[in-house]
Amino acid sequence: MIAVHTDRLADLVALYAEYAACIDEERFDDWPGFFTEDCVYRVVPRENHEAGYPLATISLKGTAGLRDRVYGMTSTLFHAPYYQRHIVSLPRIVGNEEGAIRVEANYLVLRTKRDEPSEVFNTGRYIDRVVETGGGLRFREKLCVFDSELIPNSLIYPI
Amino acid sequence: MIAVHTDRLADLVALYAEYAACIDEERFDDWPGFFTEDCVYRVVPRENHEAGYPLATISLKGTAGLRDRVYGMTSTLFHAPYYQRHIVSLPRIVGNEEGAIRVEANYLVLRTKRDEPSEVFNTGRYIDRVVETGGGLRFREKLCVFDSELIPNSLIYPI
Amino acid sequence: MIAVHTDRLADLVALYAEYAACIDEERFDDWPGFFTEDCVYRVVPRENHEAGYPLATISLKGTAGLRDRVYGMTSTLFHAPYYQRHIVSLPRIVGNEEGAIRVEANYLVLRTKRDEPSEVFNTGRYIDRVVETGGGLRFREKLCVFDSELIPNSLIYPI
């Protein structure tokens, strides 16, 4: 078990809480701001991840890639609107590597469609590399490994 | 992003954990003790909240109002019993205002009716004002903004 | 409310996050390592727990008992495979007792069967006694009190 510095933990809690709030409040234009310029963002089924297959449901590179995605999700993709609600479990500092903190956290995303009850939408594990920048902690890499293959084709918004 | 003091974060974690435990363990008489005398407690659908409509599903004023509600939920309201289970996500310090800390946290409440499996009941965001009192941190205002309009008419216990 | 020392909170957050990760990643051989030699591990329905009935769904003693269970779940029990995902809420330090910290935390376990969507599997409260050992914090007692009686007969993996 890696020794956890309490200041670091508080900063990470703030990072993950801010990240979830940004998405759930649909401030999508702010979403790329949580990443470094050269970031990688991937959403991958657990089975593929564990088998070492490279196939990803979503794979974006750099904040430019994230901004393109935001444009797509808010302007061009046709979909019924839904709310998301992230419940992020206690974050876990797994190690340090090339100047980055490796952090993992379990997440649950609930979805609420108009006139329907809230439901379990997507659950899995964030496997992240977090770096210190002049503007605070940022994700250099964010991997969202989700448990169910049976993901609705309407995975539109960020996880 | 607001700088988070780790002692403050630990106190807030304790406050939210105690609050959830109080409700889930059905120690309802202790529930008003988490609030200031002049508190406001409201449960509001997200759509109304975002549109700025004042309509609330539940709106209580002062610990006297909360105690009335406790009397109602335990003595007069007719309803099938159910267990609640709160999962509160990482709290987020949003700012300071008029001597209060503005804190937000995502929540999920699971409900278990007798002889039924546990199910997603209510999910949303706490938008709170927390103040320091001689007796520790208290809610001056607690707003529970829930995602689904389709709330069962049996929203009896506190969120 | 018990005063929370931030270092202690950070250690507990790490313990609960590591524990959940161990189970969810199916590193079951490491699971007994989170407990003291003379530990008690029990999974109990809430109704029994509150009524003071001793009946438990699962009751294991000592790390030897846990290792037996691991052997059973991985080698002899016949069951369809499923993934688990733990969402652990903010931990709550309830007190100190005989050299142990009494900690409670709400938990939600989601289950994903092959080719099915993720679903709420089990939710309840950990009621634990945690002790300091040379190897870090360990569970001397872990009680998993779950809300629904209607637990699938396939409660195979640890909670």
pLDDT above 60: residue C3: no
> And the tokens for A74?
């808010």
Rounded to a whole number, what is the distance in Å from the CA of B9 to chain C's nearest CA?
Answer: 8
| Average pLDDT, rounded, for chain B | 92
Provide ipTM, 2 decimals: 0.92
The C-alpha atoms of residue C2 and residue C97 are separated, in whole angstroms, by: 13
Which of A7, A34, A83 to mutate against chain B (most B CBs within 10 Å)? A83
pLDDT (tens digit per residue) in B73-92: 888 777 788 999 999 998 99
Higher pLDDT, B33 or C99: B33
Q: How far is Cα B105 from Cα B91, in angstroms, rounded to an integer?
A: 5
Q: What does the alpha-carbon distance between residue B157 and residue B28 come to, in Å, rounded to a whole number?
A: 8
Q: What is d(CA B46, CA A114) in angstroms, rounded to the nearest whole number?
A: 11
CB B80 within 8 A of CB B113: yes
**A6 contacts in chain B (CB < 8 Å):** 6
pLDDT digits (tens, 9 = 90+) for A104-115: 999 999 999 988
pLDDT at A41 over 70: yes
Q: pTM for this one?
A: 0.94
Q: Within an 8 Å CB–CB cutoff, is residue B4 touching chain A?
A: yes
Task: List helix spans (H) across A25-148.
Answer: 46-51, 62-71
User: What does the alpha-carbon distance between residue A12 and residue A16 come to, in Å, rounded to a whole number?
Assistant: 6
Q: Note the pLDDT of residue C126.
A: 98
Mean residue pLDDT across chain A? 92
Q: Could you say which architecture CATH assigns to the domain A6-146?
A: Roll (3.10)
From residue C80, alpha-carbon distances to B101, C73, C113, C159 in Å are 49, 11, 8, 17
| B23 has a pLDDT exceeding 90 | yes
pLDDT at res. B1: 42
Residue A75 pLDDT more than 60? Answer: yes
Hey, is the C-beta of B134 within 8 angstroms of any chain C C-beta? Answer: no
Residue pairs spanning B and C at CB distance below 8 A? 79
Does the structure show a pLDDT above 70 at C25? yes
Mean pLDDT confidence for A35-50: 96
Residue of C90, C107, C144, C150 to mutate for B, most B C-beta atoms under 10 A:
C90
